[in-house]
Amino acid sequence: MAGGNAIKGTRVGAGPMGEAERGESAPRRRVQFWCVNGHEVRPSFALEAMVPESWDCPQCGFPAGPDRSSPPAPLRNEPYKTHLAYVKERRTDAEGAAILEEALAKLRARRGER
């Protein structure tokens, strides 16, 4: 024997776990959800658990709802905005030109230019 271990991939205490070791599982129910693309998702929940209003579809990632005829609309992802994009939202072009001219005047004054 090369490694001295007759049964590979096992450890002390490892073995099949049954309900005798884990306890009994809770009674469950399956709930159907549908996404915009028509995918059906059937997660299971404990009988006492609250069922959420929506569930993420594992196939397309869109939210799925319990009503097949009117599934929830996909969430709108906001594109990444740069710092300049946020500045342009707050300032008009005229305000930007005035701020630029003020900054250039300060720079010219520091350099001794006119």
**Cα separation, 31 vs 78, whole angstroms:** 31
Instruction: Quote the pLDDT of residue 84.
Output: 87
**Cα separation, 53 vs 37, whole angstroms:** 18
pLDDT by residue for the chain (114 residues), tens digit each?
Answer: 455 656 666 666 666 655 666 677 889 999 999 999 999 999 999 999 999 999 999 999 999 999 999 999 888 888 888 998 888 899 998 998 999 999 999 999 999 876
Contacts by 67-75, CB closer than 8 A, 24 or more apart: 67/34, 68/32, 68/34, 71/34, 71/35, 71/36, 72/35, 72/36, 73/36, 74/36
Instruction: Quote the pLDDT of residue 87.
Output: 87
CA 111 to chain centre: 51
Instruction: Quote the pLDDT of residue 28.
Output: 92
Instruction: Quote the pLDDT of residue 112.
Output: 86
Amino acid at 39: H
Beta bridge partners of 63: 56
